[in-house]
Amino acid sequence: MSVGLILGIESSCDETAAAVVERGARTLSSVVASQIATHARYGGVVPELASREHLRAIVPVVRAALAQANVTLGDLDAIAVTSGPGLAGALLVGITYAKALAFASGLPLIAVNHLEGHIHAVLLNDRSLPGSLGDGQGLPEDEAALALVVSGGHTHLYLAKPADGCWSYTLVGRTLDDAAGEAYDKVAKLLGFGYPGGPWIDALALHGNPRAVPFAFSQIKTKLHLAGKAPRTKAARTAPIANLDSRFLFSFSGIKTAVLRYVELHNLRPEAEARREALFTGPDAPARPTIEAALATCDPQTLDLIASFQHAVVGDLMKKTFAAAESLGARRILVTGGVAANRELRQRFTVEGVARGLRIAFPTLALSTDNAAMIAAAAWPRLLVRDFADGSLSADPSLALGNARG
């Protein structure tokens, strides 16, 4: 093996990304072309538009990643690409281009699960720290980490175990309906903010009272909820059906409805519509609305609602993640995915980790949301064991990660 340079390509949702990473640890370049401007006015990702934008961006993004890393295809050891889960048409753009590059250059192709990529975003960061668990070396085989992948498409808990430099994953919890990021996006849309909603709520929550509205999460009864069938939601389809411990299950559709009720009851809709027009859709809307501009459109009641929503969501994520870590004997917690960029979440998880003597690790902020450095990092252990994809590689929109705990 030469230097261990991998080109990662990611196109599973609404970011076209490419990166060059050395030995799963050193990021030489990470280029992300966001489609936020395309989807913002629709309040969510429009799959057909996403594929079209990926087609436009993929070649310049990959070229930029190689140029910024100061390498050519000939310097690389492998090409890694996200094969799922995600939007079928979007995934196919990255896969087709990665295959063409691999074929033309004779380089091996490595298929990466997007969720494993998110976990490796933490490991990539962590490899540079003392006591690193990134390469799985020096850790006893039974020293597992608990990983919370919390994004727009997922809220999943995995037990991750190092095994011979690779990692194995066991699903221990998940959402039964919406992902946490989806709840952020829906609540933001309801209140007249743009897509993605997380960053707006994150910033505005600082200005409200988190205890003003007492949102509550009730205990989930698995059997009742599932009635023996697989839940039919985007998030849940990516995980196998299993008898997961109901203490580690999430549900975010209830709080979304509770926010909707609050908005109706307090007649906040006209204000939200006015905000949407002033900041995003109206003829005088700014090209890039700022947090200050958004803040000026919010009365104290809306800010309290936003702060209370976030406080409740973060509280629920914490409660179940720490309960799972403790119950499964994991001494380390990895929190990753777009929602892991959230300030309150980082702060409260860190404080709780100190209190309980558990080590909490996050990706850098830039690697919390979708990127390709995490895909190249996840491919590194696979390159070492020569786990390569062949020409038949195709998109798997509901690709699951690991096994479920039975």
Interface with ligand KG4 (CB under 6 A): 13, 151-153, 181, 184-185, 196-199, 202, 337-339, 341-342, 369-370
Q: How far is CA 233 from the centre of its chain?
A: 17
Q: Could you tell which of ligand KG4, Zn ion, none binds residue 77, using a CB distance below 5 to 8 A set by kind?
A: none
| The three-state (H, E, C) secondary structure of the chain, written as one string | CCCCEEEEEECCCCEEEEEEEECCCEEEEEEEEECHHHHHHHCCCCHHHHHHHHHHHHHHHHHHHHHHHCCCHHHCCEEEEEEECCCHHHHHHHHHHHHHHHHHHCCCEEEEEHHHHHHHHHHHHHCCCCCCCCCCCCCCCCCCEEEEEECCCCEEEEEEEEECCEEEEEEEEEECCCCHHHHHHHHHHHCCCCCCCHHHHHHHHCCCCCCCCCCCCCCCCHHHHHCCCCCCCHHHHCCCCCCCCHHHEECCHHHHHHHHHHHHHCCCHHHHHHHHHHHHHCCCCCCCCCHHHHHHCCCHHHHHHHHHHHHHHHHHHHHHHHHHHHHHCCCEEEEECHHHHCHHHHHHHHHHHHHHCCEEECCCCCCCCCCCHHHHHHHHHHHHCCCCECCCCCCCCCCCCCEECC
What is the closest distance, in whole angstroms, from the C-beta atom of residue 362 to ligand KG4 in the complex?
A: 12
C-beta closer to ligand KG4: residue 245 or 396:
396
C-beta closer to ligand KG4: residue 136 or 153:
153
Q: Could you tell which of ligand KG4, Zn ion, none binds residue 181, using a CB distance below 5 to 8 A set by kind?
A: ligand KG4
C-beta closer to Zn ion: residue 83 or 151:
151
C-beta closer to ligand KG4: residue 78 or 201:
201
C-beta closer to Zn ion: residue 148 or 263:
148
C-beta closer to ligand KG4: residue 12 or 77:
12
Q: Could you tell which of ligand KG4, Zn ion, none binds residue 108, using a CB distance below 5 to 8 A set by kind?
A: none
What is the closest distance, in whole angstroms, from the C-beta atom of residue 35 to ligand KG4 in the complex?
A: 11
Q: Could you tell which of ligand KG4, Zn ion, none binds residue 113, using a CB distance below 5 to 8 A set by kind?
A: none
What is the closest distance, in whole angstroms, from the C-beta atom of residue 106 to ligand KG4 in the complex?
A: 32
Q: Could you tell which of Zn ion, ligand KG4, none binds residue 122, using a CB distance below 5 to 8 A set by kind?
A: none
What is the closest distance, in whole angstroms, from the C-beta atom of residue 275 to Zn ion in the complex?
A: 28
Q: Give which of 381, 372, 378 is closest to 29, Cα–Cα.
A: 372
What is the closest distance, in whole angstroms, from the C-beta atom of residue 338 to ligand KG4 in the complex?
A: 2
Residues at the contact surface with Zn ion, assessed by CB under 5 A: 151, 370
Q: Could you tell which of Zn ion, ligand KG4, none binds residue 202, using a CB distance below 5 to 8 A set by kind?
A: ligand KG4
What is the closest distance, in whole angstroms, from the C-beta atom of residue 336 to ligand KG4 in the complex?
A: 8
What is the closest distance, in whole angstroms, from the C-beta atom of residue 108 to ligand KG4 in the complex?
A: 26
Tell me how crowded residue 223 is: count the other CB atoms within 10 A of its CB: 9
C-beta closer to ligand KG4: residue 27 or 35:
35
C-beta closer to Zn ion: residue 15 or 344:
15
What is the closest distance, in whole angstroms, from the C-beta atom of residue 198 to ligand KG4 in the complex?
A: 2
